A and B are shown apart, each in its own frame.
Chain A
Amino acid sequence: MTVLRNRFVRRVAETAGILFGVAVLVFVMLRAIPGDQITAGLGTEAAALTPAQRQALEQYYGLDQPLVTQFFSWLGNMFTGNFGYSARSQQSVLELTMNALPVTFELAVLSIVLALLIGVPLGMLAASRPNSVRDAAGQAVSLAGLSIPAFLLATTLLSVFAASFGFNPNGQGFATLLEDPLLNLRQMLLPALVLGFGIAAPILRTTRTAVLEVRSDDFVRTARAKGVPERRLQVRHVLGNALVPIVTMTGLQFGYLLGGAVVVEQIFSVPGIGRQVLLGIQQKEYAVVQSTVLVIALAFVLVNLVTDLLYRVIDPRVGAS
Chain B
Amino acid sequence: MPRGAFSAAGLAAALSLALTACSSPSSGPTGTGTGTGTGAQGGGGTLVVGVTSDPDTLFPWKATQFQAVNVLQNLYGTLTEFDKDLNVVPGLAESWEAGDGGRKLTLKLRQGVTFADGSAFDSKDVKSSLDQIMDEKTAAVARASLSSVKAVEAPDPHTVVLELTGPDAALPANLASVNLAMLSSDDTEEKLNATPNGTGPFRLAKRVASQSITLARNDAYWGPEKAKAATVEFRVIPDESSIVAAMQSGNVQLAVFNDPLVAQTAEGGGTITVAKTPQLNYHALQLNARKGDLKDVNVRLAIQCAIDRKQVLDTAALGEGEVTGPITAPAFKSDPNKRPCPTRDLAKAAEYLGKAGKAAGVTVKAIVSQGEYATSVNEAQNLKAQLAEAKINLELEVLESGAFVDRWVAADFDAAVALNGGRPDPDGSYGRYFTSDGNLNKVAGYSSPELDELFAQGKAATDQAARKAVYDKVAAELEENAAWIWLFAGYTYTATTANVSGFVPMASGSLQYLRTTSVG
Chain A interfacial positions (CB closer than 8 Å to B):
33-35, 39-50, 52-54, 56-57, 60, 86-91, 96, 99, 113-114, 117, 120-121, 155, 158-159, 161-163, 165-176, 179-180, 182-183, 185-186, 189, 193, 231, 234-236, 266-269, 271, 275-276, 279, 282-284
Is the pair A283, B56 in contact by a Cβ cutoff of 8 Å? yes
With most chain A CB atoms within 10 A of its CB, the pick from B6, B31, B32, B249 is B249
Q: Mark B235-262, 1 if CB is under 8 A from A, else 0.
A: 1111101101111111110000000000
Contact of B35 among A47, A173, A279 (CB under 8 A): A173
Contact of B249 among A42, A171, A175 (CB under 8 A): A171
C-alpha spacing A122/B106, complex, angstroms: 79
Complex formed: what's the CA distance from A167 to B212 in Å? Answer: 21
Residues of A contacting B246 with CB < 8 Å? 162, 168, 170-171
Report if A189-B210 is in contact (Cβ < 8 Å); known contacts: A47-B408, A47-B409: no
Which of A99, A114, A162, A235 has its CB near the most chain B CB atoms (within 10 A)?
A162
A44 contacts B193, CB within 8 Å?
Answer: no
Q: Is the CB of B139 within 8 A of A173?
A: no
Contacts of A267 in B (CB 8 A): 238-239, 241-242
Known interface pairs A89-B209, A165-B25; A43-B235 also in contact (CB < 8 Å)? no
Knowing that A47-B440, A231-B2, A269-B236 are A-B contacts, what are 12 other residue pairs whose CB atoms are under 8 Å apart, sorted by A's residue number?
Answer: A33-B403, A50-B143, A50-B439, A53-B136, A53-B137, A91-B209, A96-B209, A172-B33, A173-B35, A173-B211, A174-B211, A271-B210
- 22 inter-chain pairs at a CB distance below 8 angstroms, sorted by A residue, are A33-B402, A47-B409, A47-B440, A53-B136, A60-B139, A155-B241, A158-B241, A163-B245, A170-B237, A170-B242, A171-B27, A171-B245, A171-B252, A175-B33, A185-B15, A186-B23, A193-B16, A236-B1, A269-B237, A275-B210, A276-B210, A279-B54
**Which of A167, A172, A279 lies in contact with B31, CB distance below 8 A?**
A172
- A43 touching B19 by the CB < 8 A rule? no
Q: Does B443 contact A (CB under 8 A)?
A: yes
Answer whether residue B138 sits at the interface, using C-beta atoms and an 8 A cutoff: yes
Query: Given A50-B439, A89-B209, A275-B210, A159 and B5 touching (CB < 8 A)?
Result: no
Which of A99, A162, A186, A234 is close to B245, meaning CB atoms less than 8 Å apart? A162
In whole angstroms, how far apart are the Cα atoms of A16 and B146 in the complex? 54
Once the chains are docked, how many angstroms separate the CA of A304 from the CA of B245? 38
B127 within 8 A of A: no
Q: How far is the CB of B100 from chain A (nearest CB, A)?
A: 28
> Bound state CA distance, A235 and B5, in angstroms?
10
Interface of B is mostly: mixed
**Interface 9-residue window, one of B57-65, B157-165, B350-358:** B57-65
Within 8 Å of chain A (Cβ to Cβ): is B432? yes
Cβ B402 vs Cβ A56 within 8 A: no
Q: Which of B250, B403, B409 contacts A44 (CB 8 A)?
A: B409
What distance in Å separates the Cβ of A165 from its nearest Cβ neighbour in chain B? Answer: 7
Query: Is A117 touching B8 in the complex (CB atoms < 8 A)?
Result: yes
Residue from B5, B36, B141 within 8 A of A120 (CB atoms): B5
A292 to B12, CA, bound (A): 32
Asked if B520 is at the interface of the complex by the 8 Å CB criterion, the answer is no
Asked whether, in the complex, the Cβ of B137 is within 8 Å of the Cβ of A52, the reply is yes
A87→B57 contact, CB < 8 A: yes
Contact partners of A279 in chain B: CB under 8 A: 54, 210
List residues of chain B with CB within 8 A of the CB of A158: 241-242, 245
Distance in angstroms from A87 CB to nearest chain B CB is 7
Chain B residues, Cβ within 8 Å of A283: 56
